[in-house]
Structure 1
Amino acid sequence: MKILAGTAHQDLARRIAKAVGTELCAAEIRKFPDGEIFVKITENIRGRDVFIIQPTSFPPNDNLMELLIMIDAAKRASAKRITAVLPYYGYARQDRKDQPRVPITAKLVANLLVAAGINRILTMDLHAQQIQGFFDIPVDHLYAAPVIVKYLREKTPENLVVVAPDTGGMKQAAAYADMLGAGVAVVGKERKSAEDVAATHLVGNVKGCNAVLVDDMTSTAGTLTAAARLLVDAGAASIRAVVSHSLLNCKGVERLANSPIEELVITDSVPQRCDVGEKVKVLSVAELLAEAIQRIHSNSSVTSLFEIT
């Protein structure tokens, strides 16, 4: 096995390699003066099982292009099998044609990865389940829930209600509620722009309850903070939020700081762009991804990684 890492999230890659019990494969990655990316794998990987770790988060275009070039380098170096490990799959929100003359960019990214030469993909908490169907190669889709639920069981009080901040997150909220033995509620929202959201109504009773907002990702925190204000008006005793992928920009951090959300629980699937402040708790998914890598390498089942004890 050889584990390669792009420049997107070196810290996570090192934690994964340590959990696997190996070192990162040596590689040279740099940019030419005109911005073109150069990759050279400086170890022999002929006939090896190669895993390339690279979340395609901010800046998504640079990180995606770097990943494609690393895949091509590994293929031309005669790697036996190449697995792209994407803790975060960029462009996942563009997964359908909901307006005239718009692309389905999540499918385009899948086509690019396959064309570059990957044999399988390992990812976590896709924005939409159907993205797995965009690939004609094996996809191992992990969930951060085992890591997050373990923390919530230790830290959250009784009388919990899991809240979906929009109707699209209802399935995920119901899954968390089942794992936590909690009730379920959902917030209806109206998106005014890419950064501004209005929470319009609440379905479910949260009065006197400890609410946990659950979402797969956040960047401006608009959806979460709007939902939190609606929960306060509905009489929630406390409000926490959990997201698998925190893409928070500085505006999102400011919104979070001024919101009634007491704590935001995130994972280290992507590096943070800003100082996220004291309200944010970061949980590591390195061991989860490392275990999946080891099982893929040994051709073992990864099903038990979805189990929560």
Structure 2
Amino acid sequence: MSKLTVIGGPSSEQLAKKIATRLKSKFVGCELRVFPDGESKITLKKKPEGRIIVVQSIYPPVDSNLIRGLAITSQARACSSNVSVVIPYMGYARQDRQFLPGEIITMEVVAKMFKAAGATKIIVVDIHSMIALEHLQIPAKNVSAVEELARHFKKMSLHEPLVVSPDKGGTERAQNFAKFLGVDYIALEKQRDRKTGNVIIKSKGIDGIRGRDVILVDDMISTGGSIVKAAEFLKKQKSGKVYVCCTHALLIGDAEKNITKAGVTKIISANTIPGKTSVVDVSPIIAKALT
């Protein structure tokens, strides 16, 4: 078997170690120093060999984690002609098209930078939009954590569970999640103001929710505005317990507190972003995509 090295970036060291274990590969960690002006200095603790896999999520601080990922990728390419970059949470994926005049499609810029840094392949997990994936100018693959997340809920004792997407855009995700659990699903209709970011639920009363435990499924939770509105709506429909499930739990500011206040029993997320809600391990699906 040819040599294989997994480099764990500062934002994803624990997940990278799990991936390295599954691939039976060498693991190389990074030493990070942040200067008073905010600059990052990264030193690889060992020399990588053979095919290299860089693992670095781009969550807050987004720009810092992006630069760190690019720097590690560049160093990896200096050591190997085969550099796969695993970006469990792809920051800037929401900036995949121009919504308002003058907006820059930053995802396109990020894609160019990873290619220039030397990445030969990119693996992402539940990217926010497939349009964002199309901007990547090298072979790229999106893997889904839906089945792993659903498997976690399958072990729980839920009362007549119903899977709910907070918006129509997440219908397919909710459908796949529900199919794995063998339960029903619905999608709410929401409207977001592009300028203010305010969200309203346009759905009216829905039959069949009363008394049933609900799993609100989304790809990511940032400020939690959509989830809060959806949870409040479901509680008004006299639902049972409301659980929130997502791949990427950013949970900015008071998001977790506001979600709990809206009546949510528990938040379950994947370890694409480390945190106390990140109880579902995605290293199996990433390792499989890399083999």
- Establish whether TM, by shorter chain, passes 0.5: yes
Q: Which moved more, 1:7-16 or 1:23-32?
A: 23-32
Query: Unaligned 5+ residue runs, structure 1?
Result: 296-309
Identity %: 26
Aligned equivalent of 2:61, options 42, 47, 59: 59
Q: Distance in 2 between matches of 1:138 and 1:110?
A: 11
> Is residue 217 of structure 2 the alignment partner of residue 214 of structure 1?
yes
Match of 1:71 in 2: 73
Q: Deviations over 1:258-289 (max 9, x none)?
A: 121112111111123xxx5xxx4621222332
Corresponding position of 1:283: 280
2:107 alignment partner, SS class: helix
Matches within 5 A, 1:101-120: 101-120=102-121
2:39 to 36, 41, 46: 36
Map of 2:247 onto structure 1: 244
List aligned pairs for 1:86-235, cutoff 5 A. Answer: 86-191=87-192, 196-202=198-204, 204-205=206-207, 206-235=209-238
CA deviation vs aligned residue, 1:42-65 (integer Å, no higher than 9, x gap): 54446x100001000010100000
Q: CA RMSD in A?
A: 2.2
Cα shift readout 1:201-234 (whole Å, capped 9, x = no counterpart): 2475323322211100002121112101111112
Name the count of aligned residue pairs: 286
Say if 1:262 and 1:119 are closer, same or farther in 2 by CA, change over 3 A.
Answer: same
- Give the Å deviation of 1:81: 0.2
Q: Is the 8 A contact 2:146 2:173 kept in 1?
A: no
Cα 1:202–1:22 shift into 2, 3 Å: farther
- Kindly indicate whether residue 22 of structure 2 is the aligned counterpart of residue 19 of structure 1: yes
Asked if the contact 1:263–1:281 (Cα under 8 Å) also holds between the matched residues in 2, the reply is no
Cα distance, 1:195 vs. partner?
6.4
**Which letter maps to 1:152?**
F
Instruction: Work out whether residues 19 and 284 of structure 2, in 8 Å CA contact, stay in contact via their aligned partners in 1.
Output: yes
Q: Distance in 2 between matches of 1:194 and 1:75?
A: 42
Q: Which runs of 5+ in 2 are unaligned?
A: none
The amino acid that maps onto 2:84 is: T
1:91 offset after TM fit, Å?
0.8
Query: Normalising by the residue count of structure 1, what TM-score does the alignment of the two structures yield?
Result: 0.85
**How many Å separate the matches in 1 of 2:30 and 2:75?**
10
